[in-house]
Amino acid sequence: MLAKRQARGTWSNETFIGYGENSGPLNPDGLSTFIESDTENEWSNRMAELIQELEHIRSFQDNWDGEGAEAPKTDLVDSAVDLLGSLQSQRTFPPPTRIAASPAGHIILEWQFEHNVYLEAEIVEPFHVEWMLGQPLHPTQHWEESWMPAYAKKQRSRGLTLVVK
């Protein structure tokens, strides 16, 4: 059991593996959680809610927040839906804690783990994500990835492909 939900939106990282040979496919330096079977259920339970949140975000217009935010770009919302599907099928992470739209119209998936471990995926272009990982006593890590859309995966191999480190 390596990822255990403690409270709403909070996951234990007692065996959170950030580096090493057990690392996951999203990051060559490694960032992975091994998810117990009930987390699989968690994905199933949360997926509809997450998609609903994304559809809510999709409806935002320019200046939706009254502070000058740009409307989220449709292709980025579509990419977020696709990324959620990839993450769900890979079981690399638990479902995100929160989904947000940035003032620039980007889509953000956020994970809050126990002990102040924070992970964020900012979708800045279609099928391209900027990751940020914050862990206490470690420098914050940033890296970028592109991934293969689900429709393309059906034709080719599965998984996310690293483009830029």
Residues in touch with other proteins (CB under 8 A):
7-10, 53, 57, 65-70, 97-104, 108, 110, 112, 118, 120, 130, 132, 134, 140, 142
User: Cα separation of 119 and 105, whole Å?
Assistant: 19
By the 8 A CB rule, do 117 and 16 touch? yes
CA dist 33 and 22 (Å) reads: 9
* Distance in Å, CB of 42 to other proteins, minimum: 16
Q: Check: CB of residue 3 under 8 Å from CB of residue 96.
A: no
Residue 39 CB, shortest distance to other proteins, in Å, is: 18
Residue whose C-alpha is closest to residue 108's, from 133, 86, 139, 130: 130
Specify whether the CB–CB gap between 113 and 10 falls below 8 A: yes
Query: What is the closest distance, in whole angstroms, from the C-beta atom of residue 27 to other proteins in the complex?
Result: 15
Farthest-apart Cα atoms in the chain, separation: 46
Distance of closest approach, residue 68 Cβ to other proteins, in angstroms: 3
